[in-house]
Amino acid sequence: MKLFSGNANKSLSEDIAKYLDTTLGNAVVRRFADQEIFVEIRENVRGEDVFIIQSTSFPANDHLMEMLIMIDAARRSSARRITAVLPYFGYARQDRKPGPRTPISAKLVANLITEAGADRVLTLDLHAGQIQGFFDIPTDNLYAVPVMARDVKANYDIDNVMVVSPDVGGVVRARALASRLNAPLAIVDKRRDKPGQSEVMNVIGDVTGKDCLLIDDIIDSGGTLCNAAEALLANGATSVTAYISHGVLSGGAVARITSSKLKELVITDSIEPTSAILAAHNIRVTTIADLFGEAINRTALEQSVSSLFD
């Protein structure tokens, strides 16, 4: 087994390698003067089981191209098997045609990764589970819920928590966390008038006196979560904490979170946190390095990955 990392999230890659008691492979990923990407793998990978770790986070296009070129370099170096490890799979929000003459970008990106030469894909909390079917190669979609459940048990009185889905579409994810915590479930019903904006309508479930845990896969602008937190507090919740798999947090999202009524926002390190995120008083980062390390180890040994979530 050999691990290589692009430039998107080196710290996570190093933590995964540490869990596996190994080191990252020697690969150069740099730019020419015109910003064209150059990759060179500086060690033998012939016949090896190669794992390339790269989140397609901001700048998404650059990091996606790094991933594709690294896969191509490994394929042309006669690697036995190449697994694209994508802690955060960008373009996942474009998984269907919401209107005429629009692309399904998630399928396009899946095709690019497959055609570049990847044999497998390993990712975390896809925005929509059906994206696994966009790949014509084996795809393992890991779940952050076990990591979140351990964090909740370590930091909260689980006898008083209520898990809340910020919309109807996230109920399955929220139910999975509620089941692990043996906690009740509530839903925030909202209507979205414009992209990036949401209007909270009502709360389904009695949250009075409860420490509410909002759970979702992606936080981008932060508007949905902040509105949901206000609605829950207005309905009698004692506090509101959010657990999110992928902290995109673009634009003024960090400022919006720090000035919101959220007690805490907990995100994973699937996307490398910025200095603003690390400095925020109510944003905390929990690692998924052990989860990915174990999944990579089981993949290399041809063992079950799904049993991680039993």
For 87-111, the pLDDT digits (tens) are 999 999 999 998 899 999 999 999 9
The catalytic position among 190, 194, 261, 263 is 190
Residue 271: its pLDDT value, please? 96
Q: Is 167 annotated as a binding residue?
A: yes
Q: Is 38 strand, coil or helix? A: strand
First to last CA, the chain: 26
CA distance 93 to 50: 28
Residue 189: its pLDDT value, please? 85
Q: Is 34 annotated as a binding residue?
A: yes
Of the chain, the percentage scoring pLDDT greater than 70 comes to 96
Share the mean pLDDT of the chain: 93
Residue 39: its pLDDT value, please? 95
* Phi, psi (rounded to 5 degrees) for 76: -75, -10
Q: Is 290 annotated as a binding residue?
A: no
CB distance 127 to 170 below 8 Å: no
Query: Beta strands 37-41 and 27-31: pairing type?
Result: antiparallel
Handedness of CA 108, 141, 154, 173 (dihedral sign): positive
CB distance 50 to 79 below 8 Å: yes
In tens, the pLDDT along 33-90 reads 999 999 999 999 999 999 999 999 999 999 999 999 999 999 999 999 999 999 999 9
Is residue 123 scored above 90 in pLDDT?
Answer: yes
pTM of the model: 0.92
Q: Is 94 annotated as a binding residue?
A: yes
Element holding 204 (H helix, E strand): strand 199-204
Q: Which residue has the higher pLDDT, 201 or 207?
A: 207
Q: Is 303 annotated as a binding residue?
A: no
> Would you place residue 288 in the very low, low, confident or very high pLDDT band (cuts 50, 70, 90)?
very high
CA distance 143 to 137: 19
As beta bridge partners, residue 220 has none
Q: Is 35 annotated as a binding residue?
A: yes
CB distance 41 to 4 below 8 Å: yes
Query: Beta strands 283-286 and 264-268: pairing type?
Result: parallel
In tens, the pLDDT along 187-206 reads 998 765 665 555 656 889 99
CA distance 201 to 199: 6
190 is catalytic: yes
At 8, the amino acid letter reads A
CB distance 271 to 12 below 8 Å: no
Q: Is 36 annotated as a binding residue?
A: yes
CB distance 64 to 29 below 8 Å: no
Of the chain, the percentage scoring pLDDT greater than 90 comes to 84
The two three-digit tokens of residue 223, written as one number = 């508007």
Q: Is 125 annotated as a binding residue?
A: no
> Would you place residue 224 in the very low, low, confident or very high pLDDT band (cuts 50, 70, 90)?
confident
Handedness of CA 132, 166, 54, 21 (dihedral sign): negative
